[in-house]
Structure 1
Amino acid sequence: MAELKTQLDLQQIPKIVGEDGTQLLARCYAVLEHTRWPLYIVGPSGSGKSIIAMNLARQYALAKNVPAYYVQLSPEQTKTSLILGLRLENGSLAVKNGVVADCMESGGIIIVDEATHSVQEILLMFNSILDRTSVTAIGDKMIYAHEDFRIVFCSNDSRYSGNVKLPQSFAQRLVSFYFDYPTAEDELLIVEQIVAEECRANDVVPVSLKRYIIELMREVRSNTYPLSVRNAAIAVVLCNLELLRRPEWRQTMIDSYFYDNRNVESIKRYLAKRVLGCEAASVTDLTDRRIMELEQALSAIGIVTFKEIILQSFMYYLDVDLGFYDLQMVKEKLESSII
Structure 2
Amino acid sequence: MKFGYRVQEAPLWEDLRAVLHLKKPLLLIGPTGSGKTKLAEALAQSFELPMNSINCSVDLDAEALLGFKTIVQQDGVSVIEFVDGPVVDAMKHGHILYIDEINMAKPETLPILHSVLDYRRTLTNPFTGEVIEAHPNFKVLAAINEGYVGTTPMNEALKNRFVAARIDYLTGDALRQLLAESVDLEDERLDMMYNIATELQKQVKEGLLAEEIASIRSVLDALQLSAHMPIERALQYAIVEKIEDPLERDLVLQLIEMWV
TM over 0.5: yes
1:77-107 residue CA offsets vs partner (Å, 9 max, x unmatched): 3212322443444565443321211111112
Distance in 2 between the 1:186 and 1:48 partners? 13
Are 1:106 and 2:93 an aligned pair? yes
CA contact (8 A) 1:160 1:224 kept: no
Are 1:185 and 2:173 an aligned pair? yes
Name the residue aligned to 1:227: 214
Q: 1:312 aligns with which of 213, 224, 237?
A: 237
Distance in 2 between the 1:109 and 1:310 partners? 36
One-letter amino acid of the counterpart of residue 317, structure 1 = E
Distance in 1 between the 2:212 and 2:19 partners? 33
3-state SS in 2 of match to 1:154? strand
3-state SS in 2 of match to 1:226? helix
Name the residue aligned to 2:155: 167
Name the residue aligned to 1:215: 198
CA contact (8 A) 1:18 1:187 kept: no
Are 1:16 and 2:5 an aligned pair? yes
Q: 1:59 aligns with which of 46, 57, 68?
A: 46
CA contact (8 A) 1:57 1:110 kept: no
Higher relative contact order (CA 8 A, sep 6+): 2
- Give the 5 Å matches for 1:63-78: 66-78=49-61
Name the residue aligned to 1:204: 186
3-state SS in 2 of match to 1:36? coil
CA contact (8 A) 2:27 2:142 kept: yes
3-state SS in 2 of match to 1:151? strand
CA contact (8 A) 2:26 2:162 kept: yes
1:309 Cα offset (Å) = 4.0
3-state SS in 2 of match to 1:148? coil
Are 1:145 and 2:145 an aligned pair? no
One-letter amino acid of the counterpart of residue 82, structure 1 = L
Q: 2:112 aligns with which of 100, 112, 125?
A: 125
One-letter amino acid of the counterpart of residue 217, structure 1 = L
Name the residue aligned to 1:48: 35
| RMSD after superposition | 2.5
3-state SS in 1 of match to 2:168? coil
Are 1:30 and 2:18 an aligned pair? yes
CA 1:215–1:140 in structure 2 vs 1: closer, same or farther (change >3 Å)? closer
3-state SS in 2 of match to 1:166? coil
Q: Which has the larger radius of gyration?
A: 1
Decide which structure has greater strand share. Answer: 2
1:205 Cα offset (Å) = 4.9
1:130-185 residue CA offsets vs partner (Å, 9 max, x unmatched): 1211222224212111222111111211x111212211211111111111112232
Distance in 2 between the 1:192 and 1:110 partners? 31
- Which structure 1 residue ranges, 4+ long, deviate > 6 Å from structure 2? none
> In percent, how many aligned pairs have the same letter?
20
TM-score by length of 2: 0.82
Distance in 1 between the 2:109 and 2:181 partners? 35
